[in-house]
Amino acid sequence: MENDEEIPLLTPFQLGPFLLNHRLRVVLAPMTRCRSYRSIPQPHAAVYYSQRATPGGLLIAEATGVSDTSMGYPCTPGIWTQEQVEAWKPIVKAVHDKGAVFFLQIWHVGRLSHTSYQPKGQAPISCSSKRAPGPSPSGDILEYSTPRALETREIPLLIQDFCTAARNAIEAGFDGVELHGAHGYLIDQFLKDGINDRTDGYGGSVENRCRFSLELVDAVAKEIGSQRIGFRFSPFSNFSDSADSNPMKLAVFLAEALNRYNILYVAEPKVKLSGEVESELWPVRRAFKGAFLAAAGFDRDSGNAAIETGLADLVVYARHFLANPDLPRRFQLNAPLNLYDRNTFFSHDPVAGYTDYPFLEESTG
C-alpha cells in the first residue's frame, strides 16, 4: 500500500481561503443527476453528497438553475426561490458536517432547452436564434426548440439572475459557486463563434464574445466575493454544436482576462479521452494565475501525472466518483473501482445508481 506522501493526488493544497488537506486534490465533479423533483433539492441528495465528502475535500454540486428560464433537463435543481434555498440547507450541512468544502455550480442552459421547460411555453433564450441539434443527453428532448436571441437591454437582467442565484447559494451555506461556462450552455453560447452571430457589443471579436462572461464574473464577484468563484469553460469542445474556429485563442484570451478578477479557480475539461496529458491545456494553464482544475477522462495514474507535472492543481472526477463514493481512499490503496451504470445517470430513482454504490468494505466483504 502506498502512503499519502507518495501519491500526488492525496497531497494538501491551499485553495484560496480553503485548506484542502489529506485527500484534497480529488474533486467531485458537478454532475446532472435528475433527482430534484419539481426543481426542489431532495433529502436523498444529502446522502449522496455526504457519502462523497471527506475532511478537507472539495465537492462541486450539480448544475443548478438560476431562474425559471434556465431549465432544460428533467428534475434538475434550482436556486432562485426561497423554497429551493431552504431545501439546499440540510444538504450543505451534511457535507460540512463531514469537514468538506462545498461549491454549487450555477447555470443557464440557454438554447439547450424546449418550450415545455420554459415559463408559459415561451421560446428558450440564447445569444442567437440558431437551434441546437438534439437529442439532449438525458434523452427526454429529441429536438430542441428554436431559441429567441436576447436583446442587448436584456443581458444585464440575465446577469442579475446569476447574482441572485450566487447570493442565494451563500445563504444556503455553500462556500462558493462555479459558473458553468462549458459544454454548449448559455455562457458557452456567447463564447463560441460557431453559435454567437451577434452584431452588437457581445458578438464578433473574441473580446466581444467574452464580454458577457467577464461582466458576469465581475458582477458575481461584487455580490459574493471573488474568492468564492470558480469558472468552468470548454473552449476545445464542440458539445451540442458549440465549436469555435480558434479555440486556443479563445481559451488563452479568456484565461488571461479572468486574472483581472482574482477568482478562485478555473476548471477545464479535457475533450480527447486518450489517457495522455493534453497538450492543449498547457497554454491555458500558464495563462491563468489562479488554481487550475483539470476535468474529464482522468484515472488514478493520469490524475497523479497531472498533479506531478504541474498541469493541474486539482483533478475533477465525475463517473468514477459517482460509482465510488470512497474514491480518494480507493486511490490511496490502489484498490479496484466499482463500474458505473450509464443507464442510471439520468434516472429519477432516489437510490438506484445514486446512493447505492458500495464502499470498499462492502464491495470486498
Instruction: List, for residues 346-361, the tens digit of each pLDDT value.
Output: 999 999 999 999 999 8
Q: What is the pLDDT of residue 239?
A: 87
User: What is the pLDDT averaged over residues 70-74?
Assistant: 96
Q: Where are the domains of the chain?
A: 8-344
**pLDDT band per the 50, 70, 90 thresholds, residue 142:** confident
| pTM of this structure | 0.95
How many CB atoms lie under 10 A from the CB of residue 240?
22
Q: What is the pLDDT of residue 4?
A: 42
Q: What is the pLDDT of residue 54?
A: 94
Distance CA 54, CA 101 (A): 9
What is the three-class DSSP state of 180? strand
Of residues 137 and 204, more confidently modeled:
204
Helices within the chain (DSSP H only): 43-51, 82-96, 155-172, 186-191, 206-209, 211-224, 247-258, 281-287, 300-309, 319-323, 327-333, 360-364
Q: What is the pLDDT of residue 363?
A: 62
pLDDT tens-digit series, residues 285-339: 999 999 999 997 899 999 999 999 999 999 999 999 999 999 999 999 999 999 9
Q: What is the pLDDT of residue 23?
A: 63
Q: What is the pLDDT of residue 269?
A: 78
Q: Is pLDDT at 114 greater than 90 in this prediction?
A: yes
Residue 106's DSSP bridge partners are 64, 179
**pLDDT band per the 50, 70, 90 thresholds, residue 138:** confident
Q: Is the Cα dihedral 298, 300, 305, 310 positive or negative?
A: positive
Topology annotation, domain 8-344 = TIM Barrel (3.20.20)
The three grid cell numbers given for residue 137, joined into one nine-digit string: 443527453
Residue of 341, 218, 307, 223 lying closest to 27 (CA atoms)? 307
Distance CA 20, CA 10 (A): 10
Q: What is the pLDDT of residue 185?
A: 97
One-letter amino acid for residue 297 of the chain:
G
Q: What is the pLDDT of residue 361?
A: 83
**pLDDT band per the 50, 70, 90 thresholds, residue 270:** low
- DSSP line for 308-325: HHTS-SEEEESHHHHH-T
Q: What is the pLDDT of residue 275?
A: 41
pLDDT tens-digit series, residues 23-33: 679 999 999 99
Burial class (CB in 10 A: 0-12, 13-18, 19+), 186: buried
Backbone angles phi, psi at 72, to 5 degrees: -160, 5
Residue of 103, 80, 95 lying closest to 29 (CA atoms)? 103
User: What is the pLDDT averaged over residues 85-105?
Assistant: 98
Residue of 286, 276, 226 lying closest to 252 (CA atoms)? 286
What is the three-class DSSP state of 343? helix
Q: Is pLDDT at 364 greater than 90 in this prediction?
A: no
267-293 burial string, b = 16+ CB within 10 Å, else e? bbbbbeeeeebbebbeebbebbebbbb
Distance CA 283, CA 288 (A): 9
Q: Is pLDDT at 259 greater than 70 in this prediction?
A: yes
Q: Are the CB atoms for 130 and 110 separated by under 8 Å?
A: no
Backbone angles phi, psi at 129, to 5 degrees: -100, 10
**pLDDT band per the 50, 70, 90 thresholds, residue 225:** very high
Q: Are the CB atoms for 43 and 89 separated by under 8 Å?
A: no
Distance CA 13, CA 3 (A): 17
Most distant CA atoms of the chain, gap in Å? 63
Helix pair angle (155-172, 211-224), 10° resolution: 40
Peptide bond between residue 77 and the one before it cis (omega within 30 degrees of 0) = no
Q: Is pLDDT at 362 greater than 50 in this prediction?
A: yes
The alpha carbon of 141 is separated from its chain's Cα centroid by a whole number of angstroms, namely: 21
Backbone angles phi, psi at 148, to 5 degrees: -105, 130
| Active site residue ranges | 185
